[in-house]
């Protein structure tokens, strides 16, 4: 595996490949990330992974400084998984001057995650656009765990006519249902035991909808109450239409197959997010 820290090295190493499949990450890799790498492997003749903790997507009170940086372990994991090129730029390489030009994402970026993390998607889109320009991938793989990010990046690629196929990867879960996330490492032992409740709550709402309920607002309230009762500080529990994450029609006209349920909440100091399809569908989003 080639490790490239500069744009020039990266360009040199990518020259000879036909079909580049890219997995952007912020490091602290777990099985979820490695599953994205496997999907990239199936689709490209060269797999590029980036590790870059992107300051632009962290709010002033968020965990940029304490975000886990585990480069050596990440490097070994990627090498074992057969990644061809690891792009690991430092901040100076990515932002040699203050990044005053930014991508302005659509209104969806101010809802759900964006309502609680102002500027988050502008930071994500800006770095993803820069990474796409540097790597020039044919394919890029994003996890469904960050469902809103996946939608917004897909929309950016379409609207800016970028010739990149965005591939959605299923969320990888621990045996008890907790979605794998770099932030799980912050949980205390007791919080870790409690954490799968988010998935169970989402699944319960999804099953109620699959069973015919269309009173989405009541289900959202019940989901929030279930988490709050168990010590979570809830940002949102929301039923949305899977296609563009719009609010579903209150009369229940949307087919349950197309609905998803999303949540974000804090356990202690750790903010977790997750989402489920009402009817699980593999490799679609």
Catalytic residues: 33
Binding mask 108-127 for ligand PAF (x = CB under 6 A): ----------------x--x
Task: Name beta bridge partners: 139.
Answer: 21, 165
How far apart are alpha carbons 97 and 104 in whole angstroms?
19
Site for ligand PAF in 134-153 (CB under 6 A): 146, 149
Q: Which long-range contacts (CB under 8 A, 24 or more apart) does 116-123 make?
A: 116/235, 116/236, 116/264, 117/59, 117/62, 118/59, 119/56, 119/57, 119/59, 120/57, 120/59, 121/57, 121/148, 121/149, 121/152, 122/56, 123/54, 123/55, 123/56, 123/57, 123/58
Binding mask 28-57 for ligand PAF (x = CB under 6 A): --------------------------x--x
Q: Is 170 in the site for ligand PAF (CB under 6 A)?
A: no
Q: Nearer to ligand PAF by C-beta: 54 or 171?
A: 54
Q: Nearer to ligand PAF by C-beta: 86 or 128?
A: 128
Which segment (19-27, 85-93, 101-109, 223-231) binds ligand PAF by CB under 6 A? 19-27
Rg (CA), the chain: 19
Q: Nearer to ligand PAF by C-beta: 54 or 214?
A: 54
How far apart are alpha carbons 146 and 161 in whole angstroms?
22
Q: Is 264 in the site for ligand PAF (CB under 6 A)?
A: no
Binding mask 204-243 for ligand PAF (x = CB under 6 A): ----------------------------------------
Of the chain, the end-to-end C-alpha distance in Å amounts to 31
Binder of ligand PAF out of 10, 24, 164, 181 (CB under 6 A):
24
**CB 82 to ligand PAF: min, Å:** 20
How far apart are alpha carbons 224 and 232 in whole angstroms?
9
Which segment (23-31, 58-66, 97-105, 248-256) binds ligand PAF by CB under 6 A? 23-31
- Cβ-based neighbour number of residue 197 at 10 Å: 20
Q: Nearer to ligand PAF by C-beta: 67 or 204?
A: 67
DSSP 97: S
Binding site for ligand PAF (CB under 6 A): 24-26, 54, 57, 124, 127-128, 146, 149
């Amino acid at each position: 595996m080639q490790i490239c820290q500069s744009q020039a090295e990266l360009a040199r190493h990518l020259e000879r490949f036909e079909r580049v499949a890219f997995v952007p990450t912020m490091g602290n890799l777990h099985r979820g990330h490695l599953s994205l790498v496997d999907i990239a492997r199936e689709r490209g003749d060269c797999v590029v992974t980036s590790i870059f903790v992107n300051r632009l997507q962290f709010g002033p009170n968020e965990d940029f400084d304490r975000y886990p940086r585990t480069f050596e372990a990440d490097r070994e994991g990627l090498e074992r998984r057969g990644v061809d090129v690891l792009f690991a730029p430092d901040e100076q390489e990515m932002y040699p001057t203050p990044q005053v030009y930014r991508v302005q994402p659509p209104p969806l970026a101010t809802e759900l995650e964006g309502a609680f993390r102002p500027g988050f998607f502008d930071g994500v889109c800006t770095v993803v656009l820069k990474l796409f320009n540097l790597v020039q991938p044919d394919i890029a793989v994003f996890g469904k765990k960050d469902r809103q990010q996946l939608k917004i990046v897909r929309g950016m690629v379409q609207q800016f006519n970028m010739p990149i196929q965005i591939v959605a990867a299923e969320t990888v879960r621990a045996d008890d249902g907790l979605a794998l996330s770099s932030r799980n490492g912050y949980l205390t032992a007791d919080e870790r035991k409690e954490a799968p409740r988010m998935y169970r709550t989402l699944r319960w709402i999804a099953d109620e909808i699959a069973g015919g309920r269309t009173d989405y607002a009541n289900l959202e309230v019940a989901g929030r109450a279930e988490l709050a009762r168990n010590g979570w500080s809830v940002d949102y529990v929301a039923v949305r239409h899977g296609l563009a994450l719009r609010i579903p029609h209150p009369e229940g006209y949307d087919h349950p197959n197309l609905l998803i349920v999303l949540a974000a909440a804090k356990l202690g100091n750790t903010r977790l997010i997750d989402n489920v399809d009402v009817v699980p569908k593999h490799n679609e989003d």
